[in-house]
Amino acid sequence: MTNPLLAHWDTPFELPPFDQITDDAYLPAVEAALAESRANIAAIADNPAAPDFANTIEALERADDTLGRVLGVFYNVAGADSNPAREKLQRDFAPMLSAYGSEVSENKALFQRVETIWQQRDDLDLTDEQQRVLMLTRRGFVRSGAQLEGDAAKKLRAVKSRLSVLGTEFTQNLLADEREWFMLLGDDDLDGLPDFVIATARAAGEEKDAGGPVVTLSRSLIVPFLQFSERRDLRQKAYEAWGARGAKGGKTDNRAIAAETLKLREERANLLGYDTFADFKLETEMAGTPQAVRDLLMDVWQPAKAAAEHDAKKLQQMLHADGFDGPLEPWDWRFYSEKRRKELHDLDEAELKPYLQLDRMIEAAFACANRLFGLEFAAIEGPSYHPDVRQWEVTRDGEHIAVFIGDYFARGSKRSGAWCSAMRSQQRLAGDIRPHVVNVCNFAKPQNGKPALLSYDDARTLFHEFGHALHQMLSDVTYESISGTSVARDFVELPSQLYEHWLEVPEVLSEFATHADTGKPMPEDLLKRMLGAATYDMGFQTVEYVASALVDLGFHDGPAPADPMQKQAEILAELGMPHAIRMRHATPHFAHVFAGDGYSSGYYSYMWSEVMDADAFAAFEEVGDPFDPETAKKLEQTVLSSGGSVDAADLYTAFRGRLPGVEALLKGRGLDTAA
């Protein structure tokens, strides 16, 4: 029998035939697909014909067609509906795929063909998109060391392999420290804690067999504990334990690992011809240079610090009124800030919830996409991997655009968080391929057939992931490698974060935020309080984030520091870090930076994207219409349809006429008015 993953899919919209795909089909399909990929790569590298764009670059684009199709299905179900067999497959596939990746990037004959075409590029009459794909393909080879020979190549391989070991150790140490510590709460230790925190603490206590409720270092428990516990001594104890993760001495201490990591990253950058690791890392990003990142962060830092200092004074007065002398400490901030939030924006989640129905919020996301881009959504019944999954055909003027798949409810088999992926990406090289785009969320599933209700955060998540989906669905390029969300890391959150702004448009909420029982729209006063609460305490949040981003950058844009902790202290002293705020992630537990390479000298990118989304939405505000057709059309023609076919800064400039400024972000975070 043919493996259903490898057969032609004669299903509605060519969706994967999930009813026929059993778990034991994946491994043989991946093995067969990898063999096919290897044969394709060998055929390209050994082709006796002179290298040209079609026989090398386009052939490379298609070399993994089958592999991509199989893995598109697998990683979708492995993330959204896992089981022990799929977990094992995930572990098995990782080394198989990384070995294949290294073979390709270290294939000298292949790189030589790419290099030859690159050298001839001006005489080849390539389209702009082809030039871009050629540049990106070559750059990928060069950045993984294809130009290095002999000892340098050997050295680079050793550095990369040691870095991956260090990244794993860093993560495991951090997990060990997080698992080990807990604080047992006696009956007198529960003062101020709301029921949901006590319930979480009890569940954690049972899991640890601790004989009562406990505080652990999990963010979802320690943060509410710090917000609500009236016991200043316990808050201090918990806060200090939280801050000591990865720096407790002994076997799990991450400080030496951080130092060695920074040293090796510098070596890696130097071997590849860059002065610093930040130069290497930022080359592929929209920001481009360390200086551009620093400028942006410093533009935000000063107003954020001013706002935080203003807030710190208010909170310190509250501390003193409670009979404590001395300065406001880091373990006091969340507690007094929570009290102040109640005074300023009292928001009862229970009052809010009936207004945010999942189905109405999905309708709202669709309605905005209809008004902005003319998209229409019709429910379909295609094959799916789980009964909770919903599917729609997306059309425009009767023309098929995409299949949109929404998998909204939490379940044990789904990993946490929310994400957007494409089981199939848009492209034209292999025929006119339209995308299959999936949004996965973890919203609570209602009981007894009641309508599913969301928190405001959930609703934002829904819009956020739908923004990523639009980036995939409106993609209009020839080559898959630059399709949809295949863009720079500091650009990829623009469409998603931008889309969140439409949820805040009052006419959208008043139409779609209707009460589950009465059908009445949300009262204006509640709407105002909800939107006000969403930007509360931004001085604190911005300071703890920007400080971390500046330390990350400072670690990578100069010589590697021998003592990262000392370097961190110097950077914070120079910034004048407010006494009662610490970095969101200090070095010994800064997993974004040290658990792997993903966000090293890239932690800034959340803020970079937010600057852009605020500035981009301001384009609609400036013309006085959140659905202005001209602006929407421009947004689609530049940012949303182009994928990575054009440099991100050029795309943004084409949309906005200039690069983004921080003003709209400061306004959106309420930091422009700080006293």
Closest CB 21 distance from Zn ion, rounded Å: 28
Q: How many residues bind Zn ion (CB under 5 A)?
A: 2
Crossing angle, helix 538-556 and helix 605-622, to 10 degrees? 130
d(CA 611, CA 491): 11
3-state secondary structure 129-189: HHHHHHHHHHHHHHHCCCCCCHHHHHHHHHHHHHHHHHHHHHHHHHHHHHHHCEEECCHHH
**Residue whose CB is less far from Zn ion, 2 or 416:** 416
193 vs 651, beta carbon nearer Zn ion: 651
User: 147 vs 131, 134, 378, CA distance in Å?
Assistant: 20, 16, 51
CB of 240 to Zn ion, least distance (A): 33
β-strand partners of 106 = none
The full 3-state SS of 95-115, as one line of letters, equals HHHHHHHHHHHCCHHHHHHHH
Tell me the β-bridge partners of 424. Answer: 436
Closer residue to Zn ion (CB): 417 or 576 = 417
Q: How far is the CB of 469 from Zn ion (least distance, A)?
A: 11
Token pair 């006000």 in the structure block, residue: 532
The answer to whether residue 465 is catalytic is: yes
**Candidate ranges 64-72, 186-194, 447-455, 492-500; the one touching Zn ion (CB under 5 A):** 492-500
Q: Which is nearer to Zn ion, 357 or 496 (CB)?
A: 496
Q: Rg of the chain over CA atoms, in angstroms?
A: 26
Q: For residue 270, what is the DSSP state?
A: H
* Helical (H) or strand (E) element with 439: strand 436-443
**Least CB distance from residue 549 to Zn ion, whole Å?**
17
Minimum distance from CB of 421 to Zn ion (Å)?
11
Of 395, 371, 394, 377, the C-alpha closest to 635 is: 371
Triad 626, 628, 633: Cα angle to 5°: 120
496 contacts Zn ion (rule: CB under 5 A): yes
Q: Which stretch binds Zn ion (CB under 5 A): 33-41, 267-275, 378-386, 488-496?
A: 488-496
Angstrom distance (rounded) from CA 543 to CA 227: 18
CB of 439 to Zn ion, least distance (A): 11
Element (H, E) at 264: helix 255-271
Minimum CB separation of residue 418 from Zn ion in Å reads 8
> Where does this chain touch Zn ion (CB under 5 A) — which range of 234-242, 251-259, 491-499, 532-540?
491-499
Q: How far is the CB of 477 from Zn ion (least distance, A)?
A: 20
The stretch among 489-497, 552-560, 578-586, 591-599 that binds Zn ion (CB under 5 A) is 489-497
**Per CB under 5 A, does 421 bind Zn ion?**
no
Per-residue binding string, Zn ion, 594-633, x by CB under 5 A, is ----------------------------------------
Burial label, 143 (beta-carbon count in 10 A; 0-12, 13-18, 19+): middle
User: What character string, x for contact with Zn ion (CB under 5 A) and - otherwise, covers 239-278?
Assistant: ----------------------------------------
Which stretch, 35-43, 332-340, 494-502, 648-656, contacts Zn ion (CB under 5 A)?
494-502
Q: Indicate the DSSP class of residue 36.
A: H
Contact call for residues 522 and 513 (beta carbons, < 8 A)? yes
Q: DSSP string of 560-578?
A: PPS-HHHHHHHHHHHHT--
With b for 16 or more beta-carbon neighbours within 10 A and e for fewer, the 502-515 pattern comes to: bbbbeebbeebbbe
**Identified catalytic residue from 178, 309, 465, 636:** 465
Q: Please, what is the minimum distance in Å from the beta carbon of residue 118 to Zn ion? A: 33
Of residues 444, 468, 469, the one with CA closest to residue 356: 444
Classify residue 312 by its DSSP letter. H
Pick the closer one to Zn ion by CB: 266 or 615. Answer: 615
Residue sitting closest to Zn ion (CB): 496
Contact 96, 37 (CB under 8 A): no
* Nearest residue (CB) to Zn ion, 496 versus 600: 496
Least distance in angstroms from the C-beta of 496 to Zn ion: 4
Q: Please say which residue, 407 or 493, places its beta carbon nearer to Zn ion.
A: 493
| Residue type at 405 in one-letter notation | I
Write out the two tokens for 652.
């943004």
Contact residues: Zn ion, CB under 5 A: 493, 496
Residues designated as active site: 465
